[in-house]
Structure 1
Amino acid sequence: MNIEFEKMNAAHLTSVTAIENSSFITPWSYQSFVYELSQNSFAYYIVALLKNEVVGYAGMWIILDEAHITNVAVHPEHRGRKIGYALMQQMLIRAALRGATKMTLEVRSTNEPAKKLYNLLGFKESGIRKGYYEDTGEDALIMWKEDLF
């Protein structure tokens, strides 16, 4: 499997929002991604491509020396192939190249596959945001990776 990564652009957004809609209870809208790409100077997003098809994406905000993962998703038909791991590796590299020294994210407390992935990448649980997810009232685990490399 030959996955390529590139910076997300407007041409990717139809595919990205389709993956977003199939991955999350409360998905981001197409317009939210447009805003991130065109208006948010802290935002940086990439896509994973397999034979020129978007099969996953990830986004982050880089503020000073901290990178904050905003979202990561892989198309349901392509899960279990380590694409999420590869996306996160790319985000770590790209964050470091942009001056970040640490990275944080929130993850649903019940999302075992994501928690396993983040632990594998060296993220550590550092707190809980009670009732963070408005759609279900579920808690979010706050995770940090203090040293990117």
Structure 2
Amino acid sequence: MGLDDVEVSYMTPEDIEDVFIVEKLSFTIPWSKNALIEEVLNNKLAIYVTAKINGKAIGYGGMWEICDEGHITNIAVHPEFRQHGVGSRLVKKLVSIAKERGIKKMTLEVRKSNAAAQALYIKYGFKEQGCRKGYYSDNGEDAIIMWKDNV
């Protein structure tokens, strides 16, 4: 698989089944299928994209647009397709959409133990700006707060 095989585009309701599989494989406390449907269909602040190969979603990313800030909610890639630049493509697309929409700053939380994700975000200009102690309810792990200024 090469990056040329991956198409990144806005998420549609038809992508939910594939995205839900990625969600369950990626997070210890995954969002429900209904939560994903609500985000895509009814949350006016939400912007979601998928990475697809041959029409099948193998990854997704989302952010909420709040005033002039973008809050990345999730980035997830199916385990079989990790370490191939798919996460990079998703972050790049969200940053591009943020620029188009006049978003000035972006933020996210990432597990303190998730060095790979932190490295990905640093690659796109995010910097560690704080910590949320005990943020993750599954194990009480801290979250690193990262910000990207001057989108």
TM class, shorter-length: over 0.9
Runs of 4+ in structure 1 displaced over 2 angstroms?
none
Kept in 1: contact 2:52–2:59 (CA 8 A): yes
Specify the code of the residue in structure 1 equivalent to 2:68.
D
Report the counterpart of residue 71 of structure 2 in structure 1: 68
Distance in 2 between residues matched to 1:98 and 1:85, nearest whole Å: 20
Match of 2:82 among 76, 79, 85: 79
Alignment of 1:80-95 (within 5 A): 80-95=83-98
Number of residue-to-residue matches in the alignment:
148
Matched, 1:18 2:21: yes
Kept in 2: contact 1:56–1:75 (CA 8 A): yes
Alignment of 1:1-149 (within 5 A): 1=2, 2=4, 3-148=6-151
After TM superposition, the score normalised by the length of structure 2 is: 0.96
Specify the code of the residue in structure 2 equivalent to 1:22.
L
Q: Deviations over 1:83-135 (max 9, x none)?
A: 10111000000011112011000000000110111111111000000010011
Distance in 1 between residues matched to 2:76 and 2:141, nearest whole Å: 19
The structure with the largest strand share of the pair is 1
Specify the code of the residue in structure 1 equivalent to 2:95.
L
Kept in 1: contact 2:13–2:41 (CA 8 A): no
Percent identical among aligned pairs is 45
Gaps of 5+ in 2: none
Distance in 2 between residues matched to 1:37 and 1:130, nearest whole Å: 30
Specify the code of the residue in structure 2 equivalent to 1:24.
F
Q: C-alpha root-mean-square deviation of aligned residues, in Å?
A: 0.7
Give 1:55 shift.
Answer: 1.1
Structure 2 residue matching 1:49: 3-state secondary structure: strand
Specify the code of the residue in structure 1 equivalent to 2:42.
Q
